[in-house]
Amino acid sequence: MKLARSPLALAVLLACGESGQPPQKKDPAPRVDPVAPQQAVAEVRSAVRCEECHEPYVRGWEASAHAQAAASPYYRALGGGDDPRCDRCHQPLRAALDRDEPIHEEGVTCDACHAIRDVKLDAGVAAIDFDLTSNRKYGPLCDARDHYFHRVGCSSLHAESRFCAACHTLAWPTQAGPKLPVITDFDEWQANDLNSSSCQECHMAGEPGEVARGWITRENVSRHDLFGNDLELRRIGVGLRATLSPEEDALWLDVEVTNLAAAHSIPAGLAGRRLVLLVRALDPEGAELGREERSYARILVDGEGQEAPFIRAIRVESDSRLAPGERRHERFKVPAAAASASVEVLRRGVAPAVAEALGITPAADSQVAAVDVAIERKDRRYSGSGRRPRSP
Ligand code: HEC
Ligand code: HEC
Ligand code: HEC
Ligand code: HEC
Ligand code: HEC
């Protein structure tokens, strides 16, 4: 496994910015390593090799989007895998190693994150400093010891949001006009009052246990699936309440959707993601009488004004995402014959029209919150409200 650039280099400095130009920074002084320079070959391994000692981490990571970063059909449909502009975040080890090295197919794999020695942020552009040659796995533990399989590297960076910002900040250049904001979680987190928690404290908080099999018990075996058991973080993230309001003209349903627990806007991540508020009026037998949708998203459009993925977009059409702590009120008119209403918040990864244009089958919407509202009409008195999520 030779390094793509210079086999003599001990460190590879990669630009993670939009320009693809190397950052204006000198390589850090080479470390004193017991490896002769001419033998300085990259020491990276597949996630499979970590399983023997770190099994729960591998299971968590496999369930996360990080393991799909090179393979997701949506990514591939946009040219990912062939477009080098995408590699630095989706296939970081491909950008750093020989292109035929198969490990890049693992996307954001263990060694991609644990070979990161430093992240520099400059005006929203991140530069990652990888150490690929010392077989050192950088992580938050500072009292762990080197052993025959790998060395360890005490890194406070791994517990900081700046680490995630290495990839979770993306502004895309357009031919004319300003860069498009595509992924802004880190900037929003930074601007937010709730930022006393790091990305890791919300997305990776674990339990006491063994970091390595048969080793000592530690306070925190951090989760690598990013959303907790059964996507718990997604469910606690969104608050939902619905109340009936009888008025002269009609019966109304007042719905409140709240960004309860995220330190950034929701839906987070890539522009075009949606949270959809879906209200369905049901008759006494449960048959649908009507439905209405409201959605929250940052929508990018192309020259024709059609919603488009960021690489084809020229401007932001609208941004209705919920800021941290924000409550959004919506009103729906309830049909006279309705006996109940079903109120749901769904996550939609990609708009159906965009998926169709790209020729991919989008994943089904997934439910993040739901309440049912019963409508009693005895003596012209209406009742019923819901605030507790029913289990999805
Ligand atoms: C997206 C980047 C990323 C990927 C991919 C990743 N990790 Fe981690 N890992 C981290 C971060 C960040 C921490 C520190 C978390 C904290 O401080 O709460 C960590 C912590 C650890 C630790 C130290 C103990 C602990 O729980 O804090 C081990 C061991 C570990 N990861 C193993 C793995 C293995 C094995 C894989 C692949 C199956 C993997 N990691 C994939 C980012 C990553
Ligand atoms: C033969 C067993 C073994 C294998 C295989 C193994 N590790 Fe480890 N790893 C350990 C032990 C032991 C520790 C230290 C645990 C402790 O002190 O609690 C550790 C610690 C770590 C840490 C924490 C470093 C720090 O300073 O915070 C990371 C990160 C890590 N391993 C990543 C990996 C990755 C990635 C792989 C696969 C490429 C891997 N390990 C494979 C045994 C192993
Ligand atoms: C080396 C680049 C890189 C680093 C570092 C990184 N991520 Fe990611 N992350 C990605 C990519 C790429 C994806 C999208 C994968 C896909 O869906 O194809 C992703 C996806 C995610 C998702 C899933 C979103 C979804 O739609 O399910 C979450 C949550 C996330 N990352 C959180 C984090 C956190 C928290 C950290 C810091 C501890 C972090 N990431 C560090 C590149 C990275
Ligand atoms: C205070 C807790 C908290 C912190 C801190 C936090 N998040 Fe989140 N994050 C959430 C919650 C809750 C959700 C789920 C919201 C939802 O389902 O729409 C979420 C969702 C996400 C998603 C998923 C987007 C998608 O596809 O639906 C990404 C990506 C993400 N966060 C990245 C980050 C990054 C990067 C940081 C640090 C800069 C961070 N988060 C900090 C709570 C947090
Ligand atoms: C600066 C880092 C960065 C670069 C460069 C980057 N991405 Fe991403 N991408 C991310 C992160 C982080 C996510 C996760 C956000 C989320 O899941 O909502 C992501 C998610 C995606 C997704 C969603 C995947 C899914 O299955 O839902 C697609 C598609 C995508 N990127 C395409 C691309 C393409 C194509 C390129 C190159 C033209 C590219 N990205 C360049 C960081 C980057």
Query: Which one has a higher pLDDT value, 374 or 22?
Result: 374
Query: Which one has a higher pLDDT value, 23 or 93?
Result: 93
Tokens representing residue 46 in the block: 């597949």
Give the CATH number of domain 230-386. Answer: 2.60.40
Cα–Cα distance measured from residue 200 to residue 286, given in angstroms and rounded to the nearest whole number: 42
Q: pTM value?
A: 0.91
Q: Which amino acid is at 174?
A: T
Cβ 343 vs Cβ 240: under 8 Å: yes
What's the CA-to-centroid distance between 114 and ligand 1, angstroms? Answer: 7
Whether ligand 3 lies within 6 angstroms of the CB of 166 is answered as yes
pLDDT in tens, 190-215: 998 766 899 999 999 999 999 999 99
Q: Output 52-59 pairs: Cβ under 8 A, ≥24 positions apart.
A: 52/213, 53/149, 53/212, 53/213, 53/215, 54/211, 54/212, 54/213, 55/213, 56/209, 56/221, 57/110, 57/221, 57/224, 58/110, 59/225
| Candidate from 56-65, 92-101, 335-344 with smallest mean pLDDT | 92-101
| Residue 23's pLDDT band (cuts 50, 70, 90) | very low
Ligand 4 proximal residues by C-beta, below 6 Å? 161, 164, 168, 185-186, 189, 194, 197, 199, 202-203, 233-234, 237-238, 261-264, 266-269, 273, 275, 347, 368
Cβ density class 189-205: b for 16+ within 10 Å, e for less: bbebeeeeebbbebbbe
Query: Which one has a higher pLDDT value, 258 or 13?
Result: 258
Provide the sign of the torsion angle of the four alpha carbons 261, 266, 267, 270, taken in this order. Answer: negative
Q: State which ligand 3 atom lies nearest to the alpha carbon of 92.
A: 1
Cβ 244 vs Cβ 373: under 8 Å: yes
What percent of the chain lies above the pLDDT cut of 70?
Answer: 84
Whether ligand 1 lies within 6 angstroms of the CB of 199 is answered as no
What's the CA-to-centroid distance between 66 and ligand 3, angstroms? Answer: 6
Q: How far is CA 85 from CA 50, 172, 214, in A?
A: 29, 11, 42
Q: Which of 249, 298, 307, 254 is nearest to 275 (CA)?
A: 298
Widest distance between CA atoms in the chain: 89
Whether ligand 3 lies within 6 angstroms of the CB of 113 is answered as yes
Ligand 2 proximal residues by C-beta, below 6 Å? 45, 49-50, 52-54, 110-111, 114, 137, 139-141, 144, 147, 149-150, 152-154, 211-212, 215-216, 218
Parallel, antiparallel, or unpaired for β 170-172 and 180-183?
antiparallel
| Residue 19's pLDDT band (cuts 50, 70, 90) | very low
Ligand 2: which of 57, 132, 154, 211 to mutate, judged by most atoms within 8 Å of the beta carbon? 211
Q: Which residue matches tokens 């627990």?
A: 261
Q: State which ligand 2 atom lies nearest to the alpha carbon of 142.
A: 26
Domain chopping of the chain, boundaries: 12-167, 230-386
pLDDT at position 379: 46
